[in-house]
Structure 1
Amino acid sequence: MATILHIESATTNCSVSVAKNGKLLVLKEDNGINYSHAEQLHIFIREALQEASLSFSELDAIAVSKGPGSYTGLRIGVSAAKGLCFALDLPLISVPTLQSMALQSPSDTIDFIIPLLDARRMEVYSAVYDAQGVELRETKAEIIEKGIFGAWTSKGKTMLLGNGAVKCKEVLSHPNLSFAPYIFPSAREMASLAFAKFQQNDFEDVAYFEPYYLKDFMVTTKRNPPKDD
């Protein structure tokens, strides 16, 4: 038996869930326009445990969304998770943010699922999964341009999901391509992924774990040294 508390804070969706053996018991979340993690996260944690009729001492692990995503949001979520792990002497489980998003695909006839998180300008964080949520291509920071996902759309039905898909819809078109832009990371989908890791004793080092930040999108030009007169 494993009772796990899950924390998702990579985007504006402040989300907390409690699950037992991968089965969701309680979900508390608020996906407002602005980030509410600093105000809501610890309230949601307490309320989720109360609604599940559980105490902190009955938890077996803490799971946290590891990123990519908002720098501040991830820091708040990871800090809360690590604090609970230290205080309760519990193991820490990290769940890839894009993988949990892939499990929200609204169609079961899709060959490839590409979750996308909006970065800035025409930039996104993306990864590629099959219909079962198995990773086919690692997470990358990418600039949206025509043909960017051609390797997948040429092979089968491909769905772009998440808030980064909004930008893609303006640039990309293909008969095999569909969009589900109004999907955000949620602690709901973390339950099965975290439980699988728990069974494998796949835990993080609480002291040294950091969120998964990708490098900023930056285009730089090399300056030539000034010439002597």
Structure 2
Amino acid sequence: MLLLSIDTSIRGCSVAVHENSVLLASYDLHTDRSSSSMLTTLMESAVAHAGFTLNDLDAIAVAKGPGSYTGLRVGVSSAKGLCYALDKPMIAINTLEAMALQLNSFYPGHLLCPMIDARRMEVYAAVFDSTNNFVQETQAIIMDENSFQELLSERKIVFFGDGAAKCQKLLGNHPNAVFPRREIRPSAITIGELAARAFENQHFEDVATFEPYYLKDFMSPPFKKSSLPAL
């Protein structure tokens, strides 16, 4: 089983190649100028450096969101294009679930709360136990001093991801709130690990109808009046 995985949930992009759940190659690009052309180059390079061609792939996996509207659209469109061109199935994985998988072996007994930054004091978040099962489902949360208080009264929670800074300002002094010093970003590596399990269970998406998990409607930035004088 040979899988190519893609994550474009936030700034930049990440790709990985797994064979029978073993990581063969991965590339990460952390830049605001990520694009479909850059993603295509990374995908082709990862597969080639793993010793295969795109035709050798058994499936394409993609982070379905939540995350950046534009980023998710680029990733899912690229995955769909490959699936159509190669006649391969597509697997979609929750971005936050894959983020939690990065840390669950480091914090036994803790709950894990990956967070992706949204506008103002809002984050996309979910809570998982140490076996990566959902404790709280994925949702958009406007952070305040009362957020997560019920869970924090009972368990230690690790808050991480690019949205966790908002949480730390409000909950940083709580004895059960844990904030890793290292930045934890979405990664195609753990997308691939979860996708391998999905492949074994034949959990494939309908390529024609699949849409990213945006979680909320896209809002364009407010219109700004031009500073140029009227003609």
The TM-score normalised by the length of structure 2 is 0.89
Shift of 1:39: 3.8
**1:89 is aligned with what amino acid?**
D
Q: 1:87-166 alignment to 2 at 5 Å?
A: 87-105=85-103, 107-166=106-165
Give the aligned length: 216
* Range that drifts further, 86-95 or 98-107: 98-107
Cα RMSD after superposing both structures:
1.6
Matched residue, 1:50? 48
**2:216 is aligned with what amino acid?**
K
Matched residue, 2:71? 73
**Secondary structure at the counterpart of residue 182 of structure 1:** coil
Deviations 1:198-221 (A, max 9, x none): 000000000000000112599xxx
**1:143 is aligned with what amino acid?**
I
2:126–2:138 contact (8 Å) kept in structure 1: yes
Structure 1: give runs of 5+ residues left out of the alignment: 219-229
Structure 2 residue 214 is matched with structure 1 residue 175: no
1:9–1:37 contact (8 Å) kept in structure 2: no
Structure 2 residue 207 is matched with structure 1 residue 206: yes
Alpha-carbon distance between aligned partners in 1 of 2:67 and 2:137, rounded to the nearest angstrom: 15
Which portions of structure 1, spanning 4 or more consecutive aligned residues, are displaced by more than 4 angstroms?
none
**Secondary structure at the counterpart of residue 66 of structure 1:** strand
Matched residue, 1:15? 14
1:110–1:158 contact (8 Å) kept in structure 2: no
Matched residue, 1:227? none
Deviations 1:123-156 (A, max 9, x none): 0000010112111111000100112111221121
1:68–1:214 contact (8 Å) kept in structure 2: yes
**Secondary structure at the counterpart of residue 94 of structure 1:** strand
Alpha-carbon distance between aligned partners in 2 of 1:57 and 1:50, rounded to the nearest angstrom: 11
**2:65 is aligned with what amino acid?**
G
2:36–2:78 contact (8 Å) kept in structure 1: no
2:115–2:163 contact (8 Å) kept in structure 1: yes
- Aligned with residue 82 of structure 2, among 77, 81, 84: 84
**1:200 is aligned with what amino acid?**
N
The TM-score normalised by the length of structure 1 is 0.90
Alpha-carbon distance between aligned partners in 2 of 1:99 and 1:134, rounded to the nearest angstrom: 8
Matched residue, 1:226? none
Alpha-carbon distance between aligned partners in 2 of 1:25 and 1:48, rounded to the nearest angstrom: 8
Identical pairs, percent: 46
- Aligned with residue 39 of structure 2, among 35, 41, 55: 41
Alpha-carbon distance between aligned partners in 1 of 2:23 and 2:121, rounded to the nearest angstrom: 35
Shift of 1:37: 2.9
**2:185 is aligned with what amino acid?**
F
Shift of 1:35: 3.7
Shift of 1:36: 1.0
**Secondary structure at the counterpart of residue 179 of structure 2:** strand
